[in-house]
Amino acid sequence: MRATALVFEVGYGADAERIDFDAAIKSMDGLSCIYKLPPLSETTALAPLFDGCFKDVDQAIQPNPVKTPDAPVYLAFTSGSSGEPKGVLHSNNTLLANSRSITVDWNMNAASVIYSMSPLSHNLGFGAMINAFTVGGALVIHDLVKGNSLVDRLADTGTSFLFGVPTHAIDLLDELEARPEIKLDKLAGFRISGAAVPDHVCMKLTERAIMPQSGYGMTEACSHNYTMPDDNPQRIMTTSGCTCDSYEIQIFDRENHDEVLPAGKVGQIGGRGASLMLGYFNDQAATEDAFNTEGWFMTGDLGWVDEAGYIRITGRKKDVIIRGGHNIFPARVEGLAITHDRLKQVAAFPVADERLGERVCLAAVVIDSKPFDPSDLLFHLEKEGLSKYDMPEFFLKLEAMPLTASGKILKRKIVDWVGEGRVTPRPLRANFRVRKTS
């Protein structure tokens, strides 16, 4: 992304122990300012690697209105079906267009306290921050030590609107049920992103006068579809809302992206409007490929729209597993797993989970009949560079993969086998602090 300045905390991140971060950043051309933040437990003072960095920071503050609202101000990285990251460019205008609509529709104002369960590095958390900026309300970033009470934190801050994923909603309801004396009277809305709102979660939230907001969007176009505060539970549970005032969607034929389908027909979702990205950073080809000839952004997702304009998401053209709101790309997991010298074929697929929505299972055909320890696979994946957040949590050993006539693995068939009880995935665990030498 051609960054010129970097600020980071030493030792932060799931992979910090095995990556020489200093060596990595020193080899990058263009970085002229690098600030290390010591771990907060030691000190909060900045420790610059280069003297003179940020010496003119006060002069950089611009009190005057921005004169170029269409210039890029936000570069967010997303991933396609291959898992390769693409930089998404947004401007003040694209970010504010969506925020102005959603804050009006959901009655957010200067008195609102907006709480994000997601960090600012996640597009959901960033969107919560923009909403707070738009209305002049308060923003609370989830900062609890594990084990502390979320309910108490929401009550103490007077949270009126909450951003999170289904897992967060499930955990909140579990705590509220365990502590019936607690009333979150100020919490009026809860944006649940990343996956569909489970029916029982929706009903339990509405029973407590916390209105769940189901929605649909993506980094490239912001949160352009969402349900309204006065929508009934059935609509919240079965749809992903209608478009806001600044955006519109159309359903196109899966193969012919220029052929518009009528209401009720399933096809690829296309969109356009004020909150749509400026394009992909430094990738003109990917930008052009993302649009049809009429200028509609093709999302790669499948769905249909009812007569009232509410969208139903039926599937994803992009092969992705969503675990607790975090996107995991099977292609990357498979590509690293197949380099293991004992494996002949591999397939990563989702296993349903009530709390997280989906978990990752890796099915594999082992080359020989010798005993195979699945935990070896996790150590192998870590060595090959797979993030701990993307690690498989289940393993399924198969004698043979189900294949199409052309030899492609039929993942859908494996999922069906699991659902029918014909095969049973086994939990997969490993202690990464204990390094294997063999």
Q: What is the mean pLDDT of each run of 10 residues along the chain (438 residues)?
A: 86 80 84 81 51 50 78 84 77 96 97 95 92 97 89 96 91 93 93 82 93 94 96 92 96 93 93 97 94 95 92 78 86 88 92 91 91 91 90 95 76 91 91 54
pLDDT on residue 354: 86
- Strands (E) in 80-234, as ranges, are 85-91, 113-116, 138-141, 161-164, 189-192, 211-218, 222-226
Is residue 331 classed exposed, middle or buried when 0-12, 13-18 and 19+ CB atoms within 10 A define those classes? middle
pLDDT on residue 50: 45
Is residue 36 classed exposed, middle or buried when 0-12, 13-18 and 19+ CB atoms within 10 A define those classes? middle
pLDDT on residue 369: 82
Q: Which domains, from first to last, does the chain contain? A: 5-60 (no CATH), 72-316 (3.40.50.12780), 321-427 (3.30.300.30)
pLDDT on residue 16: 80
Backbone φ and ψ for 389, nearest 5 degrees, come out as -70, -15
pLDDT on residue 198: 79
pLDDT on residue 49: 45
Region of 299 (left: φ > 0; alpha: ψ -120 to 50; beta: rest) is alpha
pLDDT on residue 227: 96
